[in-house]
Amino acid sequence: MFDDLLDDGYDEFEAMEIMAEEGHPELRDVLYEMIVHHDQRLRVFAALMLAQEYQDVKALPGLYEALQNRNRNTQKAAATAIWEIGDADTGGLIRALHFERGRVRDSIADALRLVGWFPDDPEAEVSYRIATRTWKELVTLGEQAVPGLVSALSDPDGNVRRGSIWTLGQIGDARSVPFVIEMLTDSSGNMFGIGERVCDAAAEALERIGTDDALKAVRAWQADQAAHGQEEK
């Protein structure tokens, strides 16, 4: 229908509005195409409509652009839409923050920060803080953040694993020790001299927590590292 409307002389804005008025089942797919259009005006318009019609988290990068718009009404509509998406689909929003990468993920996080949104449920807040890599805030949450941080130790992103380990070390809850000990076998990281390995972060966290089991595991790991170093020589 969208292409037919364009052929009939309507522009993209008018075509989307007509489809919305008619509740056309293909509208959502059209909006998905428009939110990545080269024309920023179309991206913003489609994002606002996607949010208003469906409370879809995919609208968030476009809503971030809308917040930068000079038009106060556009800014206000974008801010309202972000809150509605966050409240309607908190889980979807957190998943998007976890799995999106680069500019898209950053724009989602920035949009949420600009309007001051965050979950009001403690468990969801922990997931949100992990997804946005706000580790210091998780330290402030203390022991209630431990289960979520332990779960994040299996995240495919090494930066998330390192951040979670660092945070667990700062919190110092002994419950996390067995899980952090397991991370001593994770030697990922430190590629091309960039960043420490996950296992190095785990050793530092265990030393900070300082229980007998934690320190024993670190000493054994250090001895193993030294032995491997000698073998390589």
Residue 167: its pLDDT value, please?
A: 96
- Is the per-residue pLDDT at 13 higher than 60? yes
Instruction: Report the chain's mean pLDDT, rounded to a whole number.
Output: 88
Confidence band for 212, pLDDT divided at 50, 70 and 90: very high
Confidence band for 191, pLDDT divided at 50, 70 and 90: very low
Written as six digits, the tokens of 70 are: 């000079």
Confidence band for 231, pLDDT divided at 50, 70 and 90: low
Closest CA to 150 of 130, 133, 132: 130
Could you identify the residue written with the tokens 């300082």? Answer: 210
Distance, in Å, from the CA atom of 165 to the CA atom of 221, rounded to the nearest integer, reads 16
Contact 206, 218 (CB under 8 A): yes
Closest CA to 135 of 114, 157, 165, 107: 165
pLDDT in tens, 72-120: 998 999 999 999 888 888 888 888 877 776 777 778 888 888 888 878 8
Identify the DSSP state of 194.
Answer: B
Tell me the percentage of the chain whose pLDDT exceeds 70. Answer: 95
Phi–psi pair at 191, nearest 5 degrees: -75, 130
Q: How far is CA 19 from the centre of its chain?
A: 32
Domains, the chain, ranges and CATH? 1-117 (1.25.40), 135-233 (1.25.10.10)
Written as six digits, the tokens of 26 are: 């293909």
pLDDT in tens, 47-80: 999 999 999 989 988 898 888 888 899 899 999 9
